[in-house]
Amino acid sequence: MEVGKLTVTLRNEGNKGKGAARRLRAQGLVPGVCYGASPDGRIDPVSITVNVKALRAALDPVRKTNTVINLTIEGGAAERSLHALVKDYQVDAIRRDITHVDLLAIDPNKEVLAPVPLEFVGKPKGAIDGGQIRIVLRSLEVRAKPSDIPVKLVVDVSPLEIGDVVHVSTIELPAGVTAVTGRDLAVVTCAAPEEEKAAAATAEGAAGAEGAAAAAAPDAKAAAPAAGKDAKAAPAAKAAAPAKPAAKK
């Protein structure tokens, strides 16, 4: 197994379905599909079986899924060789194992779409006033020839003050690389310290509630004795009431 080289096998009808997929995974294999275009023309989707360990070994540890793979497809009438990229892969939500792989056949001399990770460096000027970095995008979709796809794009956040925003249009791209992600989208911003604002608002609200309770307390205390005085006066009033004259015979 070498970096940039991978051999896969055509998957026949008997190796399709959930049961077949489980049997493949028990052997360290996963189902996949290969489609796209090559210098010879369009490639219709073909079902393949991929060795996960061999796939990981074929990927450059730096370029990762943007590694151009020399792909060999075995199992047909004739062995087929082409160039490919890992277009997509599915991962089991619990076991975190790869469960399916999509390989995109490419023409090395033609542009392709690929995601490129963003790396943020520097400390923003706004940090002096408590500003905090808020990352909106962590990768950009670009168009470039496979050999021109950058490993990463570096974004310097040092000049940012509170309220400043870096947009896609301001990121410097290498020659031959064009951003497909919307130019006006925000990538990163230096925001005001929201947690401090929230804490201040909470403290202010608590102080206001405490003051209102203290202001209401004297009225409640004054009302209590008055109620007691009235309660004691009631029996006396009842006792002072004149007796009714006896009825005449």
Q: Angle at the Cα of 22 (from 16 to 26), degrees rounded to 5?
A: 125
pLDDT tens digits for 148-181?
Answer: 999 999 999 999 999 999 999 999 999 999 999 9
What is the tens place of the pLDDT at every residue in 192-224? 987 545 545 665 665 555 555 555 555 544 444
Tell me, yes or no, if the pTM score tops 0.85.
Answer: no
Distance (Å, whole) CA 245 – CA 115: 106
pLDDT in tens, 37-75: 888 778 889 999 999 999 999 999 999 999 999 999 998
Q: What percent of the chain has pLDDT over 90?
A: 59
Give pLDDT, residue 203: 57
Selection from 148, 189, 197 nearest residue 168 by Cα:
189
Residue 136 is predicted with a pLDDT of 97
SS3 65: helix
pLDDT recorded at residue 223: 47
